[in-house]
Amino acid sequence: MRLLLISILLALAFCAQAQDSKLPDLSGTWSLDFGKSKLPKSDASLSESVVIVCSGQTIQFTFHNDGRIGIKKYVADGQEHAERVIAGRKLVLKAFWRGPTLETEDSTTSGEDGRRLVDHKEHWQLSPDGRTLTRESHDPKRTLVYDKR
């Protein structure tokens, strides 16, 4: 009985390790495809590309929006990480994998009382052929589809 239990635990550990090694690599340069995306009318003129660099659990996004550049760096360990403080507000980033989907959460907290002010959640999923990346958010509700360059 004890040997069976040990075998099961080892098998589960092996499966968990194998699953981690099969996580998608989102690295690359991605261009927004308006024809495939579902955007609110307020985003109709959005021009965006994103460069993603994955290294271990660290995933860095460099967004290029209409001549502006924004960078976000997540650690996909399910923990909250303080990114930076702007005007007394702390940006906190969290990321984790749910199967093949990368889930990201951005929060802003007030510097005075630490109260959470904003939550923004997104889901990133790579197509099976690795050529299309889908980014879904719920507030505002939109689906952005990127093609790999």
Domain annotation covers residue 36? yes
**Segment 80-89 long-range contacts (CB within 8 Å, at least 24 positions apart):** 80/107, 85/111, 88/112, 89/117
What pLDDT, on the 0 to 100 scale, is given for residue 45? 62
The one-letter amino acid at 18: A
Tell me the CATH number at 38.
Answer: 2.40.128.20
**C-beta separation of 142 from 122 below 8 A:** no
Tokens found for residue 127: 């197509």
* Listed residue (82, 30, 76) closest to 55, CA to CA: 76
* Residues 67-85 pLDDT 10s: 899 999 999 999 999 888 8
- Which stretch, 4-8, 14-18, 145-149, has highest mean pLDDT? 145-149
Domain annotation covers residue 136? yes
Q: How confident is the model at residue 148 (pLDDT cuts 50, 70, 90)?
A: very high
Mean of pLDDT over the chain:
84
Domain annotation covers residue 15? no
Domain annotation covers residue 65? yes
Dihedral angle at the C-alpha atoms of 74, 75, 80, 82, nearest 10 degrees? -60
Domain annotation covers residue 20? no
Q: How confident is the model at residue 21 (pLDDT cuts 50, 70, 90)?
A: low
Domain annotation covers residue 9? no
Q: How many domains, the chain?
A: 1
What range does the domain containing 131 cover?
A: 25-148
Q: Does residue 128 surpass a pLDDT of 60? A: yes
Domain annotation covers residue 10? no
Domain annotation covers residue 129? yes
